[in-house]
């Protein structure tokens, strides 16, 4: 189990279609807004060994397909991190629809995928005294999304 922290600044858009499988998702993340809760660890993750925010300040996600997968869905997307774009498949769960406290229409989604950080040029490696790797080659991406229907779309 690793840290469950995240990015503080991000944005995106979900465009729904008559057939939900034709809907699209696009997102952009300010990578410098990643926060682990530990300042020294933040500095290392944001530097060249990992996210390299000086050269790659944003990460993007753009859907390529949504497919049924039992009672959930698969969201196929192009993920760009450190200037490298790779196809990634997220397990997508629709959590529900409802109204917010101001009467706005909301939808909730959860999506997760596992990527190999080396595929995105993150090659840092360190070995602990016991011989175990300090950082796994795999990184789990977890998206918890609350979307609000735009007023011009209502």
The domain that holds 138 is classified in CATH as 2.40.128.110
Q: Residues 28-46: what's their mean pLDDT?
A: 91
- Does residue 2 surpass a pLDDT of 70? no
In a domain, 1, yes or no: no
Expressed as residue numbers, the domain containing 75 is: 6-149
Q: Residues 59-76: what's their mean pLDDT?
A: 97
Mean pLDDT, all residues of the chain:
90
pTM, 2 dp: 0.86
In a domain, 129, yes or no: yes
Rounded (5°) CA angle 144-147-152? 165
Position 1 confidence tier, pLDDT thresholds 50, 70, 90:
very low
In contact, 76 and 61? CB cutoff 8 Å:
no
In contact, 97 and 107? CB cutoff 8 Å:
yes
In a domain, 57, yes or no: yes
Count the Cβ atoms, other than its own, within 10 Å of residue 147.
16
In a domain, 54, yes or no: yes
Q: How many domains does the chain have?
A: 1
Q: Residues 94-100: what's their mean pLDDT?
A: 92
In a domain, 109, yes or no: yes
Residue 30 Rama label (left phi>0; alpha psi -120 to 50; beta) = beta
Position 136 confidence tier, pLDDT thresholds 50, 70, 90:
confident
In a domain, 103, yes or no: yes
In a domain, 154, yes or no: no
In a domain, 98, yes or no: yes
């Amino acid at each position: 189990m690793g840290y469950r922290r995240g990015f503080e600044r991000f944005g995106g858009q979900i465009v729904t279609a008559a057939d939900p499988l034709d809907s699209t998702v696009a997102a952009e993340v300010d990578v410098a807004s990643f926060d682990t809760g530990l300042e020294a660890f933040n500095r290392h993750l944001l530097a060249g060994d990992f996210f390299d925010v000086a050269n790659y300040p944003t990460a993007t996600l753009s859907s390529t397909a949504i497919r049924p997968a039992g009672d959930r869905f698969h969201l196929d997307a192009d993920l760009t991190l450190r200037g490298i774009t790779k196809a990634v498949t997220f397990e997508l769960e629709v959590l529900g629809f409802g109204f917010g406290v101001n009467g706005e229409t909301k939808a909730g989604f959860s999506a997760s995928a596992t990527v190999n950080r080396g595929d995105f040029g993150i090659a840092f490696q360190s070995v602990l005294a016991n011989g175990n790797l300090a950082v796994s080659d795999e990184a789990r991406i977890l998206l918890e999304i609350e979307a609000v229907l735009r007023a011009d779309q209502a």
